[in-house]
Amino acid sequence: MKTKHLLLLLLACSGWSACKKNTDNQCPVFPVALQLLSANVRIVDKTTGADLFLSPTSPYKFSDLSVTSSLTGNNISMVVDSAQKDKRFVVILGHETQDFILKLAALPADTVHMEVSVTQGKCYSSSKVSAITLNRKAVCAPCNFNNIVTISK
């Protein structure tokens, strides 16, 4: 057990200089926490509110969704969060301000704009999603990690 704690201490400190008090204005070797920058998106039926492509009875499949970025084109990272059976959503990852164009099969496309702000600290800069809009209408500002963009079709 002592070995485990010592190993964690060594990993957390990454050298003695990162653990001692910051009296000589040196910064630690690594930042303590990073925020995942993402837009969480659900696509639902506008009259019933039923999920259109992530539940077993949905009329569309995940492969029917195409997402492109104003910065990287088709090269985007996204995953499905299915922790809640009644509120599944797609997590679209991004690291800077950009537009995501979402098109589900032959349905009209939608634009999700993710605004990322960067704050420069003493040692490190930190980024966060500061605003999200859907088709030019505000979804959240400021945003947090559990905001969900709901697209009704």
Q: What is the DSSP string of 70-95?
A: TTTBT--EEEEE-SSTTS-EEEEE-S
User: CB–CB of 93/122 below 8 Å?
Assistant: no
- 3-state class (DSSP) for residue 113: strand
* Average pLDDT score, the chain: 81
pLDDT at 28 over 80: no
Q: Name the pLDDT band for 31 (thresholds 50, 70, 90).
A: low
Q: Between the CA of residue 43 and those of 60, 83, 84, 126, 146, what are the distances in Å?
A: 10, 16, 15, 30, 16
Q: Between the CA of residue 63 and those of 45, 54, 104, 127, what are the distances in Å?
A: 18, 10, 9, 31
pTM for the whole thing? Answer: 0.77
At residue 11, the pLDDT reads: 40
User: CB–CB of 18/29 below 8 Å?
Assistant: yes
At residue 93, the pLDDT reads: 93
Q: What is the largest CA-CA distance in the chain?
A: 62
